[in-house]
Chains A and B, each alone.
Chain A
Amino acid sequence: MFSPQKRELIVGGLSSAVSVFCLLLAFSIESVFGSTFEMRMLPVFLSGTMVLISVMVILKAVNMPKELLVSQEEVQIMRAATGRMFGVVIVGLIYVWLFYALGYILATAISMYLVMIVLGNSNHYKIALTAILSAIIYQFIFMGFFGFYDPVGRLIDLSALSEFLS
């Protein structure tokens, strides 16, 4: 499943996709002066070179060995681990939405609960307690002590509780 060649081809393919996206983005810059000192000059050069290098990565990958790096069983473990790993990112995205909808303290408590599960904790009682306590502590330190801006949740307004804990 995962030969060095296949891995490098995937890396090269992804790099190419990112590079082409960057190149298109660079070409989207409108000309202001119409001279050689345009502000798209460097972005186009950088992204163009990225495209060239990513093609070179693919070309190099073509000559690499095709033997499998890992067994099928290991691949299954890796797949499961990858799912768990991206679970962290998904919890992060949920956090962003919760922060917007419910405010900092509630978003922190819920996200802490979720991320602890994703990271492999299993005692739900302890997780819930840790999540609540850590949300209170984080609220006190960052919003209260350091005075970071604490926006009001769009769906639930817990500003009275936040102010009390801060």
Chain B
Amino acid sequence: MIDLFGGFVNLFTNFEALLFVLFGAFVGMVAGALPGLTASAAIAMLLPLSYHLDALSALAFLYVIGKSGRYGGSIAAILFNTPGTAASAATMQDGYPMTRRGEAGKALKTATIASVFGDYWGEIILIFGAVLIASVTRTFGPTEYFAIYVMAFVVIGSVVGESVMKGIMSTLFGGFVALIGMDTITGETRMTMGVFELDEGLSLVPLLIGVFVISEIMAQTYVSFTSSAKNELRLIRQDPASKMTWQEFRSCVPLMSRSALVGSFIGMMPGLGSSVACFVAYGEEKRRSPRSEEWGTGIVEGIAAPESANNAVSGPSMIPLLTLGIPGSTIAAVLLGVFLIHGITVGPQIFDNSNSRELVFSLFAAGLVGITAYGFIGYFFGPWIGQVIARVPNRILYSFIFLTAIIAAYSSRASIVDIFIALLFGVIGFCMRVGNFSAAAFVIAFVLARNAEEAFRQSLMLSDDGILIFIKEPVALAFLLVGFSVMLFRVVKPLLSR
């Protein structure tokens, strides 16, 4: 608690960081509310700004965008029947019917309250859970770490998409692409095809921009041409004055608490994100509800459950990152990059060093302030943000997103080659979408692969029995078994259900 108090003091005495927390709350909400544009895409475009900021401002800014982006998705889901993000897909089912009845204000306010409730819950679990787990993982060496990396690759690849094969393929491809450039142990370059700019490897920023932003612009161009969905993005009449009553809130508290727990648990699992949490919570609460037949017709419980769960994912998804150095989500993967840019090694040892410990607790404080900020903005200005978004045509909006994406790709290393790389990965990202491959698994593997290779080679150097070291070390073996059990379960389950 003293550390957290110190974190608040640190945050409130850093005016720039505080300003970026508030800015991040607004930007994330708007980005999340734009159909198609995800928080990851917004973070990718704004990542280069972090080079010009101190570590706390940069991390707090991007972390809060991730949080408010998840919430922002509910605005589009409720008002336009189009989920702003995959995490808010379940919210549509009751949110949009309420909007059609003229209760958009109540639906949005319910979503805001539930999101803030779930997000606070998740953040508290992160604050206490991360320190506790880090005390256990602190003793791990390269052998255990390599096993954890393999487990993460296998679990993320297996659970992140519909097809295990394609999920694993995405992970392998991300890992392969990360290995292009200089080998950290020998100092030799590899697989650069003679391109000088690739000697230091592919930069994260153009890759993220390609996979998340350029591919999205391509997808939006395609969708706007083949369907009239975009034209249906009109704001239906709403009554901002309608709001959640105290009685409704009280009846939703147990449901939001249970959903937040579900979301927090799912958030801790690498690869399982908000999109899974929202549907699990929605399904579970519908099953428990005495009036389950009313779910889907526009009731506040149908918004509170998924929103509480999908926002509760945010905090706990940072636990694998802070305790093991393994990002459990794409947003955590980007934050890992930001930590590294500022010379901070992420893992359990982050709590040992007083400076980095202070930074992490300041980040926790920023998260709590960010939740409050987006809750406030969303509660009072959510309908207004929705109205503005409905009035800006996609063909204008995405033109500006295109320009911003290009300059963001360029600015990471002031290299025109990076723009080309962003375009290349835009096409790759789009093909991955069409082919049902997982962009999230690809990006997470890209971020982790170099560390995994280093851990693998260090383990082999330490070993007298070659590769058998991973079987002889019980902790490493346990992680490997967990990873392959999850994959086996995912492969066998559909076969058994036939």
- A residues less than 8 Å from B453 (CB atoms): 42
Looking across the interface, which residue of chain B has its beta carbon closest to that of A33?
B186
Q: From residue 161 to 211 of chain B, which have CB atoms closer than 8 A to chain A?
A: 165-166, 168-169, 172-173, 175-176, 179, 183, 185-186, 188, 190-191, 193
Cβ-neighbour of A142 out of B173, B214, B407 (below 8 A): B407
Looking across the interface, which residue of chain A has its beta carbon closest to that of B458?
A37
Cβ-neighbour of A146 out of B173, B179, B411 (below 8 A): B411
Instruction: Say which one of B247-255, B267-275, B412-420 lies at the interface with A.
Output: B412-420
Q: From residue 121 to 166 of chain A, which have CB atoms closer than 8 A to chain B?
A: 121, 130, 134, 138, 142, 146-149, 151
Number of inter-chain CB pairs below 8 Å: 162
The reply to whether A88 and B218 contact each other, CB–CB distance below 8 Å, is yes
- A residues less than 8 Å from B396 (CB atoms): 116, 121, 130
B473 to chain A, nearest CB (A): 19
- A residues less than 8 Å from B494 (CB atoms): none
Known: A39-B190, A89-B218, A134-B403. A77 touches B49 (CB 8 A): no
Looking across the interface, which residue of chain A has its beta carbon closest to that of B466?
A36
The reply to whether A88 and B221 contact each other, CB–CB distance below 8 Å, is yes
Q: From residue 91 to 140 of chain A, which have CB atoms closer than 8 A to chain B?
A: 91-93, 95-96, 99-100, 108, 111-112, 115-116, 118-121, 130, 134, 138
CB of B475 closer than 8 Å to a CB of A? no
The complex places the Cα of A126 from the Cα of B483 at a distance, in Å, of 55
Looking across the interface, which residue of chain B has its beta carbon closest to that of A131?
B399
- B residues less than 8 Å from A15 (CB atoms): 169, 435
CB of B456 closer than 8 Å to a CB of A? yes
Interface residues on B, range: 35 or more
CB of A68 closer than 8 Å to a CB of B? no
Looking across the interface, which residue of chain A has its beta carbon closest to that of B179?
A43
The reply to whether A85 and B190 contact each other, CB–CB distance below 8 Å, is no
A44 to chain B, nearest CB (A): 10
A75 to chain B, nearest CB (A): 11
The reply to whether A60 and B165 contact each other, CB–CB distance below 8 Å, is yes
Cβ-neighbour of B190 out of A40, A47, A112 (below 8 A): A40
CB of A54 closer than 8 Å to a CB of B? yes
- A residues less than 8 Å from B225 (CB atoms): 77, 80-81, 84-85, 120
The complex places the Cα of A43 from the Cα of B52 at a distance, in Å, of 34
B492 to chain A, nearest CB (A): 16
- A residues less than 8 Å from B416 (CB atoms): 96, 99-100, 151
The reply to whether A121 and B395 contact each other, CB–CB distance below 8 Å, is yes
B396 to chain A, nearest CB (A): 7
The complex places the Cα of A39 from the Cα of B184 at a distance, in Å, of 9
CB of B426 closer than 8 Å to a CB of A? yes
CB of B289 closer than 8 Å to a CB of A? no
The reply to whether A81 and B221 contact each other, CB–CB distance below 8 Å, is yes
Known: A50-B176, A85-B218. A43 touches B190 (CB 8 A): yes
Q: From residue 385 to 437 of chain B, which have CB atoms closer than 8 A to chain A?
A: 394-396, 398-400, 402-403, 406-407, 410-411, 414, 416, 419-420, 422-423, 426-427, 430-431, 434-436
- A residues less than 8 Å from B166 (CB atoms): 57
CB of B217 closer than 8 Å to a CB of A? yes
The reply to whether A108 and B190 contact each other, CB–CB distance below 8 Å, is no
The reply to whether B423 and A53 contact each other, CB–CB distance below 8 Å, is no
Looking across the interface, which residue of chain A has its beta carbon closest to that of B224?
A120
Cβ-neighbour of A53 out of B172, B188, B414, B419 (below 8 A): B172
Looking across the interface, which residue of chain A has its beta carbon closest to that of B396?
A121
- A residues less than 8 Å from B221 (CB atoms): 81, 84-85, 87-88, 118-120
Q: From residue 436 to 461 of chain B, which have CB atoms closer than 8 A to chain A?
A: 436, 449, 453, 456-457, 460-461
Given contacts A46-B179, A119-B394, A149-B414, 7 further A-B contacts (CB under 8 A): A46-B172, A47-B176, A92-B214, A93-B423, A95-B406, A119-B221, A134-B403
4 A-B pairs closest in CB distance: A81-B225, A149-B414, A11-B435, A92-B423
Contacts from A to B (Cβ < 8 Å)? 11, 14-15, 18, 22, 25-26, 28-30, 32-33, 36-37, 39-40, 42-43, 46-47, 49-50, 53-54, 56-57, 60, 74, 77-78, 80-82, 84-89, 91-93, 95-96, 99-100, 108, 111-112, 115-116, 118-121, 130, 134, 138, 142, 146-149, 151
